[in-house]
Amino acid sequence: MSYLFTSESVSEGHPDKVSDQISDALVDNFLAFDKDSKVACETLVTTGQVVLAGEVKSKTYLDVQKIARDVINKIGYTKSEYMFDGNSCGVFSAIHEQSQDINQGVDRDTKEEQGAGDQGMMFGYATNETENFMPLALDLSHKILEELALLRRENNEITYLRPDSKSQVTIEYTDDNVPFRIKDIVVSTQHDQFLENDDEMLAKIKSDIINILIPRVIAKLPASIQALFNDNIVYHVNPTGKFVIGGPHGDTGLTGRKIIVDTYGGKGAHGGGAFSGKDPSKVDRSAAYATRHIAKNLVAAGVADEILIQVSYAIGVVEPMGIYVNTYGTANVDLADGEIAEIVSSIFDMRPSAIEERLKLRQPMYLESAAYGHMGRKNEIVTKTFKNMNGNEDKTIEVELFTWEKLDYVSKVKEAFKL
C-alpha cells in the first residue's frame, strides 16, 4: 500500500536560521585567523535585538557586532519597517573563554590523540532516490526556498517578498518505497502590504507562487523528478492569511532549533545535537558530517540503496564507542548490517582528529551551510575574504565547501566490499 512522507524547510530569513548564520559567521571568522580556535557560540534574535553568548578559546579578536550586522544585512533585513535590521538593531555579546575543564579533554600533546569534545551519538543518512542522495521531500523543500530567495533578490518578477519564509512538501510513495507523485506543497512567505484588500493580495501571492516560483523550480530538476509534478497537487500558500509581520520581530530565533531541516527532513535519525556555532572539535558537528560522508559513499558505491550510519563518543575519549549500520533491508551485498559496520570501521578512521583532517574541517567553511541544509549541498571551492580587526591586512582564503559531500571513497568502498 502506498504511503505519504513530508519534510519542511525554512529560508535564510527565518529567525532560527538568522541565528544559525550569525553563529557560523563567528566560527568562520575565528577559524580564518586562528585555525585552532575552539568555538561554541549561540545567538538569539528578536525585535531590534541580537544576543550573542558562548565560549571561545582563540588567539584572535573579532568585532562580533559588525559580523552580526553584516550577516543580517546580507540576508535582507535592511529596512526599518521590518522592526529588525542590521544597521539599527542592538547587538549584545556575552561570549567568554572556554572552560579549561572541557578543554583538557580535547587538546592533547599529540593531535592524533585529540578527544571528542562531547559525548553523544551522531547519524548520517543517504538514499538513492535523488541525484544528491538526499530524501526527495526535503530536497524539494530546500529548492523551493532557494528559488524564492532568488526571486526576492532579483526583485523583478515578484517585487513584494520579505526574507522570512517556510516550505513543506508531501510525497506519495509506492509500497516498494519509490516516490510516485507530489501530493501537497506548502509555501508561507513574508511579504509587503502591497494591496489594501487582503483577499486580493493573498490571491496574487498564491498565483505568483504557483505560476512563477514553481515552474522555475521544476525547470532546474532532472526529468525523473519533474515527472512527479502533476495537476492534482494541492497548494497551501500563506494558509493562515497575510504574513507581513515576520522575521525576528514576529518570532524570536535561536541557534540550533532547526536540526531536522539541517539534516534529512525526518528520514533516517538524528542524535539531537545542533551544528551551527560549533568548531569541528565538537563531534555533534564533525561526526555528523563524517557519517553523512560514509553513508553517501556507500550508497553511491552500491552497497545499499538506503543506509543509516550511527557513531557515538564519550567526551575526552579518542576512539568512538562504536559504529552502527542499518540498510533497511536494501543491501546489495550478502552481508549482515553488523558485518557491513565492521568493514566501514576498517575504511574510515573516526577519531576526531582524523575526521577533521579527512574533511578539511578547520577551514572557515560553515556560513554557507547555515541555511538550506548542511547535507546534499554542492562541493566546490570558493574564495572568501575576512576583515581583520587587529589592524593587519584582511585575509583572503580559498575554501573548499561541503567536503562531506564528496564521493572520494567510492573506489575504496567498492574494493572493500568486492563490488
Query: Binding site for K(+): residue ranges?
Result: 42
84: left (phi over 0), alpha (psi -120 to 50) or beta: beta
- Residue list, annotated binding site for ATP: 14, 164-166, 242-243, 251, 257-258, 274, 278
CB 15 within 8 A of CB 45: yes
Distance CA 88, CA 248 (A): 14
Integer CA distances (angstroms), 377 to 116, 140, 212, 374, in order: 26, 13, 24, 7
Q: Which of 251, 412, 414 is nearest to 347 (CA)?
A: 412
Distance CA 369, CA 400 (A): 12
Q: What is the DSSP string of 91-132?
A: EEEEEEEPPHHHHTTT--SSGGGPPBSS-EEEEEEEETTSTT
How far, rounded to the nearest angstrom, does the alpha carbon of residue 377 sit from its chain's CA centroid?
9
Distance CA 286, CA 350 (A): 10
- Residue list, annotated binding site: 14, 16, 42, 55, 98, 164-166, 242-243, 251, 257-258, 274, 278, 282
Q: What type of residue sits at position 202?
A: L
- Provide the grid cell at 64: 562580533
Distance CA 265, CA 270 (A): 10
- Residue list, annotated binding site for Mg(2+): 16
CB 385 within 8 A of CB 394: yes
Q: Which of 169, 166, 147 is nearest to 158 (CA)?
A: 147
